[in-house]
Structure 1
Amino acid sequence: MGGYSSSGPGAIRVRPGILILNSDRSPDERIRLVFLNTGDRPVQIGSHLHLPDANAALEFDREVAHGFRLDIPSGTSQRFEPGASRELDAVAFQGARKVPGLRVRNAGNESLDG
Structure 2
Amino acid sequence: MKLPPRYQYGDGPIEINAGRRTLKVTVRNTGDRAIQVGSDYHFFEVNSALEFDRDITLGMHLNIAAGTAVRFEPGGTHEVELCTYAGTGRLHGFSGLLNGSVKSHPARVEAVGRALRRGFRGAGQEESGQGTGGAAGKAGSDKTDAKKDKKDKKDTKKGSN
Counterpart pick for 1:48 among 19, 40, 46: 40
Instruction: Tell me the C-alpha RMSD between the 2 structures.
Output: 2.5
TM-score by length of 2: 0.54
Distance 1:69 1:79 in 2: 14
**Structure 1 alignment gaps of length 5 or more:** 1-11
Structure with greater helix percent: 2
1:19 is displaced (CA, Å) by: 1.4
**Structure 2 alignment gaps of length 5 or more:** 1-6, 112-161
Would the alpha carbon gap of residues 55 and 31 (structure 1) be closer, same or farther in structure 2, given more than 3 Å must change?
A: same
Give CA deviations for 1:1-52 in whole Å, capped at 9, x if unaligned: xxxxxxxxxxx97444311111122xxx211100110100001111111111
What SS is found at the alignment partner of 1:24? Answer: coil
In the alignment, which residue of structure 2 is the partner of 1:93?
85
Structure with greater strand percent: 1
What SS is found at the alignment partner of 1:63? Answer: helix
TM-score by length of 1: 0.74
Distance 2:48 2:107 in 1: 26
Identity of aligned residues (%): 35
The number of equivalent residue pairs is 98
In the alignment, which residue of structure 2 is the partner of 1:63?
55
Would the alpha carbon gap of residues 36 and 107 (structure 1) be closer, same or farther in structure 2, given more than 3 Å must change?
A: same
